[in-house]
Amino acid sequence: MSIVGIPRECTRALVALTPEGVDRLTARGFTCLVEERAGERAGFDYPSTVSRQELWEQADIVLTLDPATWPAPRPGTVLVGLLGESRPAAVDAFALERLPRISRAQSMDVLSTLGTAAGYRAALLATERCPRFFPMLTTAAGTVPPARVLVLGAGVAGLMAMATARRLGAVVTGYDIRPAAQDEIRSVGALVLTPPEVERPECDQMHACEQPEEVLSRQQQDLARAVAASHVVIGTAAVPGRPAPVLVTRAMVEGMQPGAVVVDLALGNCELTRAGEVYLHRGVHLLGLRDLPSQLPYSCSQMLARNLAAYLSLLAPGGTLNIPWEDELVSTCCVSRKEPHETRPENPLPGHDPGASADPIGLSAHLQP
Ligand code: NAD
């Protein structure tokens, strides 16, 4: 039976396995070792914990959500979780951010979990910065019109941001290059801003293709009026493995009303975004925050723990490691093998450009020298 280690994450407030997850894995035959204070920032308490040294010496499998947490795993172990660009030596490592978005992998889809948390937080952060009420109010002091929110990109994070802003009472408009996204935008109660006609808007059901410059500039023209009329813009437009498309230019930001808010989740949808910073540009709040899931650590850890436990069932059915190497969910996620001769070649995401920044949530930032 395998021993699963859950370390205290280094920079993130999350934890890879909650106490409920520990119970579930224990019932499946695993032994779980949790590092001291691992759940402290997420609000979880574990009946028993071990030191980091004990965890390093005993765990066969380590679950982690931050590449900086377990930089030098014990040779021969298995590392599973959010690994960013990390390629640890002499271990079998599985980076779950590489999972294909197919129905069999839904329960393991860590990116959907992160997107859900980030989209929700983005809408809340916008309400905190926005100097207006989100809902329409009829009061003795007169009628207050609702805030207008524009969300760019209608994937997981975008739809969650739209739904949250709607629940808070704003008038929400959604925008996505994929025609299929229009029904999804309507389904969360938002209005649709129709994108320009383009030849190949989508690579598949879930992802847009990278668009040529001329399409992006047509998009910018269409968007200019909508951005100027919005009190909040939330940017979530992204193409896997590519830099985020710039949809909101400096001129558009300067055309927004003072007090307007731009939350750029994709860290690149707005020309003026500075990753990791919040600042004012001519009265407009620009938020380029990394790691929003750590601002919702309890719920996000619960969801991630279920994603990781589902993946673990694949690697260790019945509680003992028996990795099905030929399975596409395994081969796509595997970023290093413990046997040197078996080391996989670089396994880029679909359409990955090694020079491009494909890490808007800042996972690889922890690895910079
Ligand atoms: P997703 O792939 O589910 O959705 C992206 C959407 O953008 C897709 O619907 C796609 O069609 C759309 N899109 C692509 N190009 C477009 C264009 N030119 N115009 C309009 N729409 C376009 O991704 P997601 O899970 O929703 O995540 C969205 C972004 O948020 C990603 O960049 C992700 O890395 C980032 N994110 C940030 C944080 C954070 O803490 N800052 C956390 C989670 C996710």
What would the pLDDT profile of 286-321 be if each residue is shown by its tens digit?
999 999 999 999 999 999 999 999 999 999 998 999
Of 362 and 31, the structure prediction assigns the larger pLDDT to 31
| Ligand 1 atom at minimum distance from 239 CA | 14
Q: Are 168 and 135 in contact (CB under 8 A)?
A: yes
Q: Look at residue 59 in the predicted model and tell me its pLDDT.
A: 97
Query: For 133-148, how does the pLDDT look when each residue is reduced to its tens digit (9 = 90+)?
Result: 999 999 999 999 999 9
Do the domains 3-108+297-361 and 116-290 sit in the same CATH topology, yes or no? yes
Q: In the structure, which protein residues have their CB atom closer than 6 angstroms to any atom of ligand 1?
A: 111, 114-115, 118, 152-158, 175-178, 181, 207-208, 211, 219, 236-239, 244-245, 247, 265-266, 289-293, 360-361
pLDDT at 198 over 80: no
Q: Write down the pTM of the prediction.
A: 0.90
In DSSP terms, 94 is beta-bridged to: 80, 334
How far does residue 135's CA lie from ligand 1's centre (Å)?
26
Radius of gyration (Cα) for the chain, nearest Å?
Answer: 22
Q: Is the pLDDT of residue 350 over 60?
A: no
Tell me the C-alpha distance between 186 and 92, whole Å: 43
Average pLDDT, the chain: 90
33-89 pLDDT tens trace = 999 999 999 999 999 999 999 999 999 999 999 999 998 899 999 999 999 999 999
Beta-bridged to residue 234, according to DSSP, are 151, 263
CATH fold of 3-108+297-361 reads Rossmann fold (3.40.50)
**Cα dist from 246 to 59, 210, 213, 238, whole Å:** 44, 11, 10, 10
Q: Find out whether 61 and 4 touch, Cβ atoms under 8 Å.
A: yes
* Mean pLDDT to the nearest integer, 98-107: 94
So where are the chain's domains?
A: 3-108+297-361, 116-290
Residue 298: predicted pLDDT: 98
The reported pLDDT for the residue numbered 60 is 96
What is the C-alpha to C-alpha distance for residues 38 and 166, in angstroms, rounded to an integer?
Answer: 35
- Classified by CATH at the fold level, domain 116-290 comes out as Rossmann fold (3.40.50)
pLDDT bin (cut points 50, 70, 90) of residue 1 is confident
pLDDT digits (tens, 9 = 90+) for 315-339: 999 899 999 999 999 999 999 998 7
Helix (H, G, I), strand (E, B) or coil at 11: coil
Nearest CA to ligand 1 atom 22: 237
**CA angle 243–63–368, rounded 5-degree value:** 40
CA angle 41, 45, 49 (to 5 degrees): 105
**Both structure tokens of 301:** 């850890």
Q: Which of 204, 208, 287 is nearest to 248 (CA)?
A: 287
By three-state DSSP, how is residue 2 classified?
coil
| 232-289 per-position pLDDT tens digit | 999 999 998 899 999 999 999 999 999 999 999 999 999 999 999 999 999 999 999 9
Residue 357 has pLDDT above 50, yes or no: no
What pLDDT score does 340 carry?
60
Residue 273: what residue type?
T
The average pLDDT across 203-223 equals 80
Between 199 and 184, residue with greater pLDDT: 184
Are 237 and 269 in contact by the 8 Å Cβ rule? The answer is: yes
Expressed in angstroms and rounded, the spacing between residue 136 Cα and the centre of ligand 1 is 29
